[in-house]
Amino acid sequence: MARSELLCTDLASVALALDLGADRIELCAALEVGGVSPGPGLLAQTLEARDRAAAPGQRTEVVVLARPRRGDFVLDDGDFAALLSDVAAAREGRADGVALGVLTREGAVDAPRMARLVEAAGDLRVTFHRAFDQLEDRAAGVEVLLGLGVRRLLTSGGAASAWAGRVELRSLAERLGGRIEVVAAGGISGESAARVLEATGVPAIHGSCSHLVGESSAGASSVALGKPGAPPEESRLTLDAESAGRFVRAAMDAPSGPAGLALD
């Protein structure tokens, strides 16, 4: 059995993920730009919904994406201060974990700043997100993250998708042997989840399983609020029930990883 982690940007998606039995929810905003930090209201309502839905002995973990802006992961002082505040807000809001990542201009893990972020997270489980796939030397990056106490690694194996990076993902999971949880990510849907798990043996998968809604919603204004040529403001990505259901079931049905990888 592997763990399933679904991206959620709204409460309807949260309710669906909980109903499907997802092991984890990664909460974010603006999925169409790769996700940024969600607001405190969404976190508070998500945790309330989770606690209401929890069966005895079962509790879906809520991980907050901490990313102050879209774009690269080389942050100036102002963006880094905002990131620290996002981590503090997740901790104060009683999230279970945070997903984050900062890089140097040379394409390495920004170890001093990551150390500050891990300290700010306190007892929250820290995931280093797909900034990992932009590292110049991922093997060296893993050792830095292990030394900092990062608990999870979200990665496509340095490829455009988890399927394309399946060989490196399997190698990474086997080499690390549970010292850090390898979470496969990148283009994984309900249709592809089972084959990604079979090919990689990773202990967890991450996906948006999303579809576009609101493209022609009634009452939409003809006045564009964004840059000309940008997607219409009334359209957004949200969790797709069929794809998400297959995604969660694939994780439930998966055999144990190649090295008996730790899930906690």
Segment 166-191 shows an average pLDDT of: 97
What residues does each domain of the chain span?
3-211+239-253
pLDDT bucket at 227, cuts 50 / 70 / 90? low
Q: What is the pLDDT of residue 54?
A: 79
- The reported pTM is 0.90
Element (H, E) at 85: helix 77-92
Q: Which two tokens stand for residue 206?
A: 């991450």
Which residues lie closer than 8 Å to 73 by C-beta, 6 or more apart?
A: 101, 102, 103, 131, 134
Q: What is the pLDDT of residue 77?
A: 98
* Residue range 103-145, pLDDT digits in tens: 999 999 999 999 999 999 999 999 999 999 999 999 999 999 9
Neighbouring CB atoms inside 10 A of 153's CB total 27
- Check if CATH label 3.20.20.380 holds for domain 3-211+239-253: yes
Q: Which residue has the higher pLDDT, 261 or 192?
A: 192
254/22 Cα distance (integer angstroms) = 14
* Residue range 48-105, pLDDT digits in tens: 999 998 777 778 999 999 999 999 999 999 999 999 999 999 999 999 999 999 999 9
Which residues lie closer than 8 Å to 149 by C-beta, 6 or more apart?
A: 118, 126
Question: For a pLDDT cut of 90, what percent of the chain falls above it?
Answer: 83
